[in-house]
Amino acid sequence: MRCKMMMRCPAGVPGGWLRSRFLQSVRCFAAGVNGSYQVRGPLAQLRDVVDVNEMAWPSFLTSPRTAAVIGAPAMFGQPLAGTDKSPQLLREAGLHQNLAALGWRVEEMGDVDMTGPPGGADPAAAGGDARHSLAVGAGCRRLSEAVFEKAAEGKFVLTLGGDHSIALGTLAGVLRARPDTRVLWCDAHADINSPKGSPSGNMHGMPLSFVMGLSDPSTVRGLEWLCETDVPVLRPERIAYVGLRDVDVYERKILHRLKQEHGLFASTMQDVDRLGIGRVMELALEALGVTGNGDEEKGAPLHLSFDIDAVDPKVAPATGTVVRGGLNYREAMYVAESCVETGRLGSMDMVEVNADLTEPSAAAETVQLGLVAVASAMGSRIL
Ligand SMILES: [Mn+2]
Q: What is the pTM of this model?
A: 0.87
* Residues near ion ligand 1 (Cβ under 5 Å): 164, 187, 189, 191, 307
Q: Mean of the pLDDT values across residues 276-288?
A: 97
The reported pLDDT for the residue numbered 258 is 98
Report the half-sphere exposure of 278 (CA within 13 A, side-chain side): 0
What's the number of domains the chain is made of? Answer: 1
105 or 35: which leads in pLDDT: 105
Alpha carbon of 58 to ligand 1 centroid (Å):
26
Residue 32: pLDDT over 70: no
What residues make up the domain containing 165? 66-377
In a domain, residue 203? The reply is yes
Alpha carbon of 204 to ligand 1 centroid (Å):
6
Residue 163: pLDDT over 70: yes
Residue 137: pLDDT over 50: yes
Task: At 246, give phi and psi (nearest 5°).
Answer: -145, 95
In a domain, residue 231? The reply is yes
Write down the catalytic residue from 309, 312, 337, 349: 309
With cut-offs at 50, 70 and 90, classify the pLDDT of residue 37. confident
Identify the CATH number of the domain in which residue 176 sits.
Answer: 3.40.800.10
Q: Which residues contact 355 (CB under 8 A, 6 or more apart)?
A: 82, 85, 86, 89, 318, 363, 364, 366, 367
Alpha helices in the chain (DSSP H): 2-6, 15-31, 42-45, 86-92, 95-101, 133-152, 167-177, 207-211, 225-228, 249-262, 269-275, 277-288, 329-340, 360-377
**Distance from C-alpha of 136 to C-alpha of 170, rounded to nearest angstrom:** 12
Q: Mean of the pLDDT values across residues 207-234?
A: 95
Pairing of strands 302-307, 105-111: unpaired
**Distance from C-alpha of 202 to C-alpha of 189, rounded to nearest angstrom:** 13
In a domain, residue 187? The reply is yes
Q: Mean of the pLDDT values across residues 191-199?
A: 96
In a domain, residue 13? The reply is no
Q: What is the pLDDT of residues 7-30, one digit of tens each?
A: 444 455 455 555 555 555 545 444
Residue 77: pLDDT over 50: yes
With cut-offs at 50, 70 and 90, classify the pLDDT of residue 44. confident
With cut-offs at 50, 70 and 90, classify the pLDDT of residue 86. very high
In a domain, residue 323? The reply is yes
Write down the catalytic residue from 189, 246, 337, 349: 189
Alpha carbon of 351 to ligand 1 centroid (Å):
8
**Distance from C-alpha of 167 to C-alpha of 236, rounded to nearest angstrom:** 16
Write down the catalytic residue from 204, 271, 337, 349: 204
Percentage of the chain beyond pLDDT 90 is 78
- Is 204 part of the annotated catalytic residue set? yes
Helix (H, G, I), strand (E, B) or coil at 351: strand
Residue 56: pLDDT over 90: no
Contact 327, 271 (CB under 8 A): no
Q: What is the pLDDT of residues 112-131, one digit of tens each?
A: 999 987 654 555 554 468 99
Residue 294: pLDDT over 80: no
In a domain, residue 217? The reply is yes
- Is 163 part of the annotated catalytic residue set? no
In a domain, residue 226? The reply is yes
With cut-offs at 50, 70 and 90, classify the pLDDT of residue 71. very high
In a domain, residue 331? The reply is yes
Q: What is the pLDDT of residues 321-335, one digit of tens each?
A: 999 999 999 999 999
The reported pLDDT for the residue numbered 142 is 98
Q: What is the pLDDT of residues 330-372, one digit of tens each?
A: 999 999 999 999 999 999 999 999 999 999 999 999 999 999 9
Write down the catalytic residue from 84, 129, 187, 246: 187
- Is 282 part of the annotated catalytic residue set? no
Write down the catalytic residue from 164, 271, 331, 341: 164
**Distance from C-alpha of 173 to C-alpha of 155, rounded to nearest angstrom:** 13
